[in-house]
Amino acid sequence: MHKDIGTNNFMDKVDQVADQMADTFERIKNDDKVQGIAEQVKGKAKEVVGQLTSDSSTELEGKWQQVKGAVQEKIGEAKDLFKQPPTQ
């Protein structure tokens, strides 16, 4: 739970901007990579807000979101490998 209304508004804006970034980048070749990066950015923002407000729940949520984003990005990279023609 966020500590105050200001934090909630800030996090809503962070989520909104990151979602807009992800929507814009959806047109790029591999959605998983871009969405994974966007999730990592949102997660880092939440982690920092949690640190600044001494809200360990928000900080932990941000760290977990970064991990999920990193996994999603790696899945996208793996998909790219399968799209490449075999080398001889």
Domain ranges (residues) in the chain? 5-80
Q: What was the pLDDT predicted at 24?
A: 67
Residue carrying the six token digits 């984003």: 69
Q: What was the pLDDT predicted at 39?
A: 94
Q: What was the pLDDT predicted at 49?
A: 94
- Give the pLDDT confidence of 19-75 residue by residue, as tens digits: 877 766 655 655 888 889 999 999 999 999 999 999 999 999 999 999 999 999 999
Cβ atoms of 23 and 16 within 8 Å: the answer is: no
Task: Give, for 80, the enclosing helix (H) or strand (E).
Answer: helix 56-83
User: For 25, how many CA atoms within 13 A lie in the half-sphere containing its CB?
Assistant: 16
Token code pair at residue 79: 């998909």
Query: Cα angle vertex 72, ends 58, 61, to 5°?
Result: 5
Query: Cα angle vertex 40, ends 61, 10, to 5°?
Result: 60
- More confidently predicted of 11 and 74: 74
